């Protein structure tokens, strides 16, 4: 499978070179980003069939080569496996890949039980998350934060984005009370942007739901699940349907919009009154 992936990447790179196109020009003609072209040619991304067809048209590929490349993409694509697992080394590269998935989705639904959803995090909060457990440091930490901030441009763009967090997640104090106050103020602000909905499951709500982890749904075609050591992009229709059912159950016990902001303001007030020795 790895050799087939390498062949796909190398062949597409050769076709672009033979067409006399730079990565930027190929991306422009295909209606994609230069990073998308680069990720394909470096073997970091398998293009969807419809996107590959458009790219091969740009390159003027022969019919025989087109058939071979399309079959390789089908064999390597997410539809041929129940899940694609990617080790979470190199935080900023992972952020870029997630950004690609978000850019292709008309609807994004995210749930987090123990932290603020990534699209809603402030830079200070992000740094704490990425660096936790001695994880990402130095330049990689700076680049990871920058990539996640870049992803947030999608907020308020009119895209349908919904986020659910537990009250416990908002009370899990990252760094200190000052960081959390800034974070919750930011969360309340983005909840009023076009197309963005923020939901909170208050601790006073009785629930009989026990999600094992956070997850992110992209339309009804894929779900992204992360653990401490790896992430999985799941595209099997039955599995995605299970996560959509879980989302519906969470939605039923979630306070949304203005009611959610009331809970956020209540929690923020507690942080404002908190005197934490770590605040200095």
What are the pLDDT digits (tens) for 45-78? 888 888 999 999 999 999 988 988 888 777 666 5
Q: Are residues 155 and 182 in the same domain?
A: yes
Tell me: the pLDDT tens digits for 259-273? 999 999 999 999 999
Q: What does the pLDDT read at residue 20?
A: 96
Provide the mean pLDDT of the chain.
87
pLDDT category of residue 278 using cuts at 50, 70 and 90? low
For residue 85, pLDDT beyond 50: no
d(CA 21, CA 16): 6
Domain closes at, from 50, 80, 110: 80
For residue 143, pLDDT beyond 70: yes
Q: Are residues 27 and 112 in the same domain?
A: no
Q: Are residues 108 and 191 in the same domain?
A: yes
- Kindly write down the DSSP assignment for every residue of 127-140, as one continuous string: HHHHHGGG-S-HHH
Domain closes at, from 80, 97, 117: 80
Taking a C-beta distance cutoff of 8 angstroms, is the pair 191, 197 a contact?
Answer: yes
For residue 172, pLDDT beyond 70: yes
Segment 135-150 mean pLDDT: 88
Q: Highest-confidence range of 96-110, 112-126, 229-243, by mean pLDDT?
A: 112-126
Six token digits for residue 182 = 């800034």
Beta strand pairing call for 196-201 and 83-87 = unpaired
Question: Which structural domain range is residue 152 located in?
Answer: 83-279
Segment 243-251 mean pLDDT: 97
For residue 27, pLDDT beyond 50: yes
Q: Are residues 68 and 87 in the same domain?
A: no
pLDDT category of residue 1 using cuts at 50, 70 and 90? very low
Give how many domains the chain has, as a whole number: 2
Residue 106: count of CB within 10 angstroms of its CB: 8
């Amino acid at each position: 499978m790895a050799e087939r992936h390498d062949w796909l990447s190398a062949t597409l790179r050769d076709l672009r070179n033979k067409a006399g196109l730079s990565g930027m020009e190929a991306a422009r003609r295909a209606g994609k980003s230069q990073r998308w072209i680069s990720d394909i040619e470096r073997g970091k991304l398998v293009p969807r069939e419809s996107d590959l067809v458009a790219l091969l048209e740009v390159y003027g590929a022969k019919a025989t080569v087109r058939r071979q490349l399309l079959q390789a993409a089908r064999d390597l694509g997410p539809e041929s496996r129940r899940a694609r697992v990617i080790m979470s080394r190199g935080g900023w590269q992972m952020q870029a890949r997630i950004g690609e998935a978000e850019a292709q989705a008309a609807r994004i639904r995210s749930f987090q039980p123990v932290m603020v959803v990534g699209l809603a995090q402030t830079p200070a909060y992000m740094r704490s998350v990425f660096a936790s457990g001695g994880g990402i440091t130095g330049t990689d930490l700076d680049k990871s934060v920058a990539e996640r901030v870049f992803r947030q441009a999608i907020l308020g763009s009119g895209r349908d984005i919904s986020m659910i967090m537990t009250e416990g997640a908002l009370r899990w104090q990252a760094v200190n009370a000052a960081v959390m106050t800034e974070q919750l103020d930011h969360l309340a602000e983005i909840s009023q942007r076009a197309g963005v909905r923020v939901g909170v499951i208050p601790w006073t709500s009785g629930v009989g739901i026990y999600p094992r982890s956070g997850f992110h749904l992209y339309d009804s075609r894929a779900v992204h699940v992360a653990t401490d050591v790896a992430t999985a992009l799941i595209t099997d229709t039955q599995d995605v349907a299970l996560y959509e059912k879980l989302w519906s159950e969470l939605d039923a016990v979630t306070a949304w919009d203005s009611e959610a902001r009331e809970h956020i303001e209540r929690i923020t007030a507690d942080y404002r009154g908190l005197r934490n020795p770590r605040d200095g």
